[in-house]
Chains A and B, each alone.
Chain A
Amino acid sequence: MLDLGEGLAVAFKVESHNHPSAVEPFQGAATGVGGILRDIAAMGARPVALLDGLRFGEPDDHFSRAVDGVGHYGNCVGVPNVGGEIVFDEDYASNCLVNAMCVGLLPAERVVRAKATAAGALVVLYGATTGRDGIGGASVLASAELGDDDADKRPSVQVGDPFTGKRLIEVSVELVERGLVRSLQDCGAAGLASSLSEMAADYGIDVRLDRVPQREEGMEPWEVMISESQERMVAIVEPERLGEVEAVIDRWELHRAVIGEVTATGILRATWNGEEVGAIPARLLTGECPRYAVAREPRTPPSETTTTTPPARQALRELLASPALRSRAFVTRRYDQLVQSRTVRRPGLDAAVLRLRPEWRGIAVTLDGQSRLGVLDPRLAGQLAILEAARNVACAGGEPIGFTDCLNFGNPEKPEVGWELAEAIEGMALACEALGVPVVSGNVSLYNDTDGRSIPPTPVVGCVGLVPDVRRVPRGWREGDAILLARSRSPLTFAGSEAQARWGSLGGSPSLDLASEGALVRYASRVAQHASLVHDAAEGGLAVALAEAALWSAAGAELDLEDDALTLFGEVGGQVIVALPSGDVEPDPTGADVEVRRIGTVGGDALLGIPLAELACAYEGEA
């Protein structure tokens, strides 16, 4: 949670729902969205944006079902989906990744902590009833490898009900807004067991499991304790407030029950019809849980071999039309991008921008990850995941203020994966230091293995940036604008690039100059305040970025660029395209850390010799 000034704060977090989505893509993705929404609502924040990171083998039916699931939940609860990333790569064919991020807003003084605050307070469960669905969701699915018996795991996938989810959000926000609860906690992975232990850590809770509203008969106490039935929330309520709390819940017609009370014992104790069925010092489940040292074994990446790209025009057309880089409109149009009337910049380029109405300030939001690079150098992948998220936000006119991360990795009991995990985290930390921006929340998804094979290390990073004035957000380059290229000192390379994936074989040792990359992010954010367009060159390199800018703006450009494959299609080294009215171009705005040079002028209806209509055809494909 971060202070935005003017009495406003922002809460945001990304979470994975990979294994449920691998087993049952629609419900897996839907409940991923539902879970992150409740996390944000539990902080007392009203969810204002969703983003999703989807990584699949190919744009097939499995993928489409996951998109349906994301849209089903988000559209129905009335929270706009404004971006994210979609990656198709064979490495995710049997272990897809579904990462969901939610951003919420709240008054700065309203900070709710998920802790019980006084002995004698009541524990109130509200929302849906509890059933046998999703039992073992966290253990059967999230903490084990996938394999041939995945279909048998379907009963472990949670089932979402966005209508109840919507009412749960409304109740939760109202309870916090009116100061009726001491704290809230979402019932997520491991159900009551997890949420109660987090709340009981400092005090202790006695819970009467028989009082939990159940949707089927004959449930065992342990089933009630760990059921992952969706759309449930736990509140800690002072006894004198109970009547008001119940009235709010009843107005929205949700189930509710007082299921226990806060004690001073430090013990999480469960009873069933008055009989003790379990007790454990709550701290053993939270801060004092067992820790494991993970064995780490570095591996050497394959060295770089020559990547021979086709002639520039052909290469650009092929890249734009590839599943990896083509327009994502065929997915984003399946999501409500507009509800809540904040969306100043819709998804499609770098980051979306939401207005903090009634103010003119806004937030820029993005979700972006790395994977192929992680195979070569997980530390560098961690760095680049942070840098790209920051650049995306900066290009939309935001000053990055915080990150959230989702670490999707293989089985950490394998020393190589242990090493990948440690390296990626270290890389992210270094990049954050260089930017001076913190990571404020996150989630880890391990055991992403199928039949013994791990996914590539995949750090996915969400970023929120503060936009000083949404009326100045760059909208598109205009006829006659000067086009500048701002570059960091990090070298361009084919190592880990789209070009290498397509026309070479994965290998090499790319590198980053973090000080220079930090300066590039700051330059982009500054220049975006008066530029007509700022756009980050990411997958596919400079040529693809120029084409994206031209298509977004519906205007071509006269460019003066070397016909050199590395210049046009190289990646990793930070590059940002800037379009400015010619009169506004400053001679040397940044000093030595960032090189800025003019590469052309906006005009015409072609780019690099290809008519825009042809580029659009490649990029958009058939509708």
Chain B
Amino acid sequence: MTELRPRIAVITFPGSNDDVDARLALEQLGAEVVPVWHATTELAADLGGIVLPGGFSYGDYLRCGAIARVAPVMGAVRAFAADGGPVLGICNGFQILCEAGLLPGVLRANRQLEFLCADVTVVVESDGTPFTAALTPGEELVIPIKHGEGNWVTDPALHAELVERGQVVLRYAEDVNGSLDRVAGVANEEGNVLGLMPHPEHAVDPLLGPTGGVPLLQGLVAAAHERLAGAGVA
């Protein structure tokens, strides 16, 4: 029996940096990665998931993610998300998803007004997304962050609703960047789109540091697998 490798797209915008890292991590966890250029307007039909990687798309000019949200590829990303496909936005990918309105809130400059690269502990707050389905709320994961603008905020009423609906998926164990309610990652209402500032793709190899990213990316690979199996593609 041949191993089934779900196909996951990693989108490269000009200025994406962690696209290669995302590919390496997903391949390590059993996925087949399809590199997708920002100018693409159609995605392959047999895609099980999408990753918007970290970096500085379009130089982060204007505002982080503000130009990428109107990139040609984003139409196909929206359609895939609307169809229930799993979409993971990491760091700059999270910023893009917020700018695109696929996720709630915005990301401002860190409280320290400095870029910050460090291993941090995040707490799983919800198992209601495919990415965290195999985790238990309260579980702690150590994953590095590296960003200058990861200070998530939204208005208090929406924030309360998000908490109520389990859309706050990950929290920092301690305040690291001024993020409202220590939010490290949020999902859409359906749970199939997740954005987070920590870099799970940089936490999969014990040789390079902590491995808290493994369960989150495994969740994506499993969801991609399921989607393809459901569609009868695999």
User: How many angstroms between the C-alpha atoms of A78 and B92 in the bound complex?
Assistant: 12
Q: Is A232 an interface residue (CB 8 A)?
A: no
How far is the CB of A307 from the nearest CB of chain B, in Å? Answer: 38
How far is the CB of A358 from the nearest CB of chain B, in Å? Answer: 9
Could you tell me if A333 and B118 are in contact, using CB atoms closer than 8 angstroms? Answer: yes
Q: Is A271 an interface residue (CB 8 A)?
A: no
Hey, which chain A residues are within 8 Å of B14, CB to CB?
163, 166-167, 252-253
Could you tell me if B117 and A337 are in contact, using CB atoms closer than 8 angstroms? Answer: yes
How far is the CB of B218 from the nearest CB of chain A, in Å? Answer: 18
Q: Is A241 an interface residue (CB 8 A)?
A: no
User: How many angstroms between the C-alpha atoms of A355 and B21 in the bound complex?
Assistant: 13
Q: Is A306 an interface residue (CB 8 A)?
A: no
Hey, which chain A residues are within 8 Å of B20, CB to CB?
340-341
Please give 5 more A-B residue pairs, beta carbons under 8 A apart, in addition to A334-B115, A337-B117, A344-B207: A76-B60, A252-B14, A335-B117, A341-B21, A471-B207
Hey, which chain A residues are within 8 Å of B18, CB to CB?
78, 339
> In residues 50-99 of chain B, which contact A (Cβ within 8 Å)?
54-56, 58-61
User: How many angstroms between the C-alpha atoms of A519 and B18 in the bound complex?
Assistant: 41
Closest A residue to B21 by CB, please name it: A341
Could you tell me if A163 and B207 are in contact, using CB atoms closer than 8 angstroms? Answer: no
Q: Is A71 an interface residue (CB 8 A)?
A: yes
Could you tell me if B59 and A162 are in contact, using CB atoms closer than 8 angstroms? Answer: yes
Kindly supply a per-residue 1/0 record for chain B positions 15-33, scoring 1 wherever the CB is within 8 Å of any chain A CB and 0 otherwise.
1111011001100000000
Closest B residue to A343 by CB, please name it: B208
Q: Is A338 an interface residue (CB 8 A)?
A: yes
Q: Is A558 an interface residue (CB 8 A)?
A: no
Kindly supply a per-residue 1/0 record for chain B positions 116-144, scoring 1 wherever the CB is within 8 Å of any chain A CB and 0 otherwise.
11100000000000000000000000001
User: How many angstroms between the C-alpha atoms of A77 and B60 in the bound complex?
Assistant: 11
Q: Is B161 an interface residue (CB 8 A)?
A: no
Given known contacts A252-B14, A339-B146, A341-B24, A76 and B56 CB-to-CB distance under 8 angstroms? yes
21 A–B contacts, CB within 8 A, in A order = A71-B115, A75-B56, A77-B17, A78-B16, A78-B18, A78-B55, A162-B56, A162-B59, A163-B60, A166-B14, A166-B15, A166-B17, A166-B59, A252-B14, A334-B116, A336-B17, A336-B115, A338-B199, A339-B17, A341-B201, A343-B209
Q: Is A470 an interface residue (CB 8 A)?
A: yes
Q: Is A161 an interface residue (CB 8 A)?
A: yes
Kindly supply a per-residue 1/0 record for chain A positions 346-361, scoring 1 wherever the CB is within 8 Å of any chain B CB and 0 otherwise.
1000000001010000
Hey, which chain A residues are within 8 Å of B7, CB to CB?
none
How far is the CB of A354 from the nearest CB of chain B, in Å? Answer: 10
How far is the CB of A209 from the nearest CB of chain B, in Å? Answer: 28
User: How many angstroms between the C-alpha atoms of A392 and B140 in the bound complex?
Assistant: 35
Q: Which 10 A-B pairs have the closest CB atoms?
A: A163-B59, A78-B17, A76-B56, A341-B21, A336-B146, A334-B115, A338-B202, A71-B115, A333-B117, A339-B17
Could you tell me if B117 and A163 are in contact, using CB atoms closer than 8 angstroms? Answer: no
Hey, which chain A residues are within 8 Å of B114, CB to CB?
68, 334
How far is the CB of B197 from the nearest CB of chain A, in Å? Answer: 13
User: How many angstroms between the C-alpha atoms of A496 and B209 in the bound complex?
Assistant: 38
- With beta carbons under 8 angstroms apart, the residue of A76, A338, A340 that contacts B144 is A338
Kindly supply a per-residue 1/0 record for chain A positions 158-170, scoring 1 wherever the CB is within 8 Å of any chain B CB and 0 otherwise.
0001111011000
Hey, which chain A residues are within 8 Å of B209, CB to CB?
338, 343, 346
Kindly supply a per-residue 1/0 record for chain B positions 140-152, scoring 1 wherever the CB is within 8 Å of any chain A CB and 0 otherwise.
0000101010000
Given known contacts A76-B60, A163-B59, A336 and B15 CB-to-CB distance under 8 angstroms? no
Hey, which chain A residues are within 8 Å of B205, CB to CB?
341
Closest A residue to B22 by CB, please name it: A341
Q: How large is the interface on B (under 10, 10 to 19, 20 to 34, 35 or more residues)?
A: 20 to 34
Kindly supply a per-residue 1/0 record for chain B positions 182-225, scoring 1 wherever the CB is within 8 Å of any chain A CB and 0 otherwise.
00000000000000000101100101110000000000000000
Closest A residue to B207 by CB, please name it: A344
Q: How large is the interface on A (under 10, 10 to 19, 20 to 34, 35 or more residues)?
A: 20 to 34
How far is the CB of A70 from the nearest CB of chain B, in Å? Answer: 10
How far is the CB of B178 from the nearest CB of chain A, in Å? Answer: 14
> In residues 541-591 of chain A, which contact B (Cβ within 8 Å)?
none
How far is the CB of A364 from the nearest CB of chain B, in Å? Answer: 15
- With beta carbons under 8 angstroms apart, the residue of A68, A161, A338, A339 that contacts B59 is A161
Hey, which chain B residues are within 8 Å of A78, CB to CB?
16-18, 55-56
Hey, which chain B residues are within 8 Å of A340, CB to CB?
20-21
Given known contacts A163-B59, A252-B14, A341 and B118 CB-to-CB distance under 8 angstroms? no
User: How many angstroms between the C-alpha atoms of A90 and B97 in the bound complex?
Assistant: 48
B59, B205, B207: residue with the most chain A Cβ atoms closer than 10 Å: B207
User: How many angstroms between the C-alpha atoms of A466 and B18 in the bound complex?
Assistant: 26
User: How many angstroms between the C-alpha atoms of A560 and B60 in the bound complex?
Assistant: 55
User: How many angstroms between the C-alpha atoms of A297 and B114 in the bound complex?
Assistant: 47
Closest B residue to A252 by CB, please name it: B14
How far is the CB of B147 from the nearest CB of chain A, in Å? Answer: 9
User: How many angstroms between the C-alpha atoms of A253 and B114 in the bound complex?
Assistant: 30
User: How many angstroms between the C-alpha atoms of A591 and B21 in the bound complex?
Assistant: 46
How far is the CB of B70 from the nearest CB of chain A, in Å? Answer: 15
Could you tell me if A355 and B207 are in contact, using CB atoms closer than 8 angstroms? Answer: yes
Closest B residue to A329 by CB, please name it: B118
Given known contacts A252-B14, A333-B117, A334-B117, A341 and B202 CB-to-CB distance under 8 angstroms? yes
Hey, which chain A residues are within 8 Å of B207, CB to CB?
344, 355, 470-471
Closest A residue to B146 by CB, please name it: A336
User: How many angstroms between the C-alpha atoms of A166 and B13 in the bound complex?
Assistant: 12
How far is the CB of B230 from the nearest CB of chain A, in Å? Answer: 32
- With beta carbons under 8 angstroms apart, the residue of A77, A338, A357, A471 that contacts B117 is A338
A163, A333, A336, A341: residue with the most chain B Cβ atoms closer than 10 Å: A341
Hey, which chain B residues are within 8 Å of A253, CB to CB?
14
Hey, which chain B residues are within 8 Å of A162, CB to CB?
56, 59
- With beta carbons under 8 angstroms apart, the residue of B25, B58, B61, B117 that contacts A336 is B117
Hey, which chain B residues are within 8 Å of A71, CB to CB?
115
Could you tell me if B58 and A163 are in contact, using CB atoms closer than 8 angstroms? Answer: yes
Closest A residue to B203 by CB, please name it: A338
User: How many angstroms between the C-alpha atoms of A470 and B209 in the bound complex?
Assistant: 13
Given known contacts A162-B59, A163-B61, A338-B146, A333 and B116 CB-to-CB distance under 8 angstroms? yes
> In residues 512-559 of chain A, which contact B (Cβ within 8 Å)?
none
How far is the CB of B127 from the nearest CB of chain A, in Å? Answer: 27
Could you tell me if B146 and A163 are in contact, using CB atoms closer than 8 angstroms? Answer: no
Closest B residue to A339 by CB, please name it: B17
> In residues 201-248 of chain A, which contact B (Cβ within 8 Å)?
none
User: How many angstroms between the C-alpha atoms of A333 and B120 in the bound complex?
Assistant: 12
Kindly supply a per-residue 1/0 record for chain A positions 238-281, scoring 1 wherever the CB is within 8 Å of any chain B CB and 0 otherwise.
00000000000000110000000000000000000000000000
Hey, which chain B residues are within 8 Å of A77, CB to CB?
17
How far is the CB of A466 from the nearest CB of chain B, in Å? Answer: 17
Closest B residue to A355 by CB, please name it: B207
User: How many angstroms between the C-alpha atoms of A343 and B15 in the bound complex?
Assistant: 21
How far is the CB of B212 from the nearest CB of chain A, in Å? Answer: 14
Closest B residue to A358 by CB, please name it: B24
User: How many angstroms between the C-alpha atoms of A340 and B22 in the bound complex?
Assistant: 10
Could you tell me if A76 and B117 are in contact, using CB atoms closer than 8 angstroms? Answer: no
- With beta carbons under 8 angstroms apart, the residue of A252, A335, A344 that contacts B208 is A344
User: How many angstroms between the C-alpha atoms of A346 and B54 in the bound complex?
Assistant: 20
Closest B residue to A165 by CB, please name it: B59
User: How many angstroms between the C-alpha atoms of A76 and B147 in the bound complex?
Assistant: 10
